Amino acid sequence: MRRLFFILLIFWFYSNSIFGEDIPEKKTKVTSGYYIVTYKNTDLNLEISINGYKIKDGSSNEDSSGQEDINYWIMPDKNKLTYRITERKPTKKKSSFPLDPKAEINLVIGQKGEFPEDGERLLTFVWSSEEGVKTLGVWQELPFDPPFIPPSKLWTIAKSIEWSTELEKSAIAHLEALTKALNSKDTKQVLPFLTFREKDTAEARYYPHDPASDKKALEGLMKTIGPNWKLNKSQIKANLLCDNKIVELTDSKGHPILKGKKDAAIPIYLSLVDGKWMIVR
């Protein structure tokens, strides 16, 4: 009887860890590191966002797995990892080896020099075909309180954005000035637009800020693309991120609005600091 009870207990633990919808946020003693989202999906489409920033879109019908460092997007207090799982549209082509629908998302805190799977898991979600069908196509949230905040100054200086026509006009004016600077062939005109982003994102990932290296990389970019940058000002779409501290500007299809030749593009993430726009991510 004891042996039977032990076997049933092991099975209960195993089945809950595999088929349970999500595992609550863990307590951790880690005080620094890299927040990393890992994911994989089979025979289902999967979309993932962190505080509004899109990690993975759900347009592909292909099975996938991947990871993304999200230190830039971790902010003080409550954070939200959101996901949506959808069924795939049937295709004429049938797989010779059909697989069971699966999806998994992990939020991991990793350290320099180690693989994500060696890091400490803060959140885990595993899709269950028994319960998951009830939420197919619906965005779900996994809120969490980060045990530490990456060293970014942005959250203390950025103001909350209430998007309006006036703000859109001023943001476009700021980007027009950036476009003109990019087409000037003069890096000194461009660097002031990018200084905060380069410094803050380096610090958020524990890299020493290297202005000389930033300048060299910018010179290479401007030389390769040349004065061919264009700003698409029609049908701009504003997406507020990170508790409205950042706005992402795209076209109506979600593509960057600042583009150059050779498929070059600069994603636009702006914040309001002291009443002025700054490129922050």
Residues 201 and 256 in one domain: yes
Is the domain of 92 the same as that of 205? no
CA-based Rg of the chain, rounded to a whole angstrom? Answer: 22
> 93 vs 87, 90, 97, CA distance in Å?
16, 9, 12
Choose the weakest-confidence range: 118-132, 170-184, 226-240, 254-268.
118-132
Both 237 and 216 in one domain: the answer is yes
Would the pLDDT of 22 be above 60?
Answer: no
Q: Give me the number of domains the chain comprises.
A: 2
Question: Residues 133, 49: one domain?
Answer: yes
Whether 183 and 71 share a structural domain: no
Residues 44 and 135 in one domain: yes
Which residues span the domain enclosing 103? 22-144
| Local structure of 111: helix, strand or coil | coil
CB neighbours of 100 closer than 8 A, spacing ≥ 6? 42, 43, 129
Query: Are residues 245 and 138 both part of a single domain?
Result: no
Length of the chain: 281
What is the pLDDT confidence band of residue 135, given thresholds at 50, 70 and 90? confident
* Residue 96: count of CB within 10 angstroms of its CB: 4
Task: Name the amino acid, one letter, at 35.
Answer: Y
pLDDT of 24 above 80: no
Question: CA-CA distance, 223 to 215, in Å (whole number)?
Answer: 12
DSSP assignment, residue 191?
Answer: H
97 and 207 housed in the same domain: no
The pLDDT value recorded for residue 8 is 33
Query: Which CATH number do you get for residue 177?
Result: 3.10.450
Q: Which helix (H) or strand (E) holds 9?
A: helix 2-19
Residue 206 counted as domain residue: yes
Model confidence at 237, pLDDT cuts 50, 70, 90, reads very high
CA separation (Å) from 266 to 162, 223, 227? 24, 15, 14
**Tokens at residue 48, please?**
């993932």
- Asked if residue 162 and residue 137 are part of one domain, the reply reads no
Place of tokens 């595992």: 23
Same domain for 135 and 215, yes or no, is: no
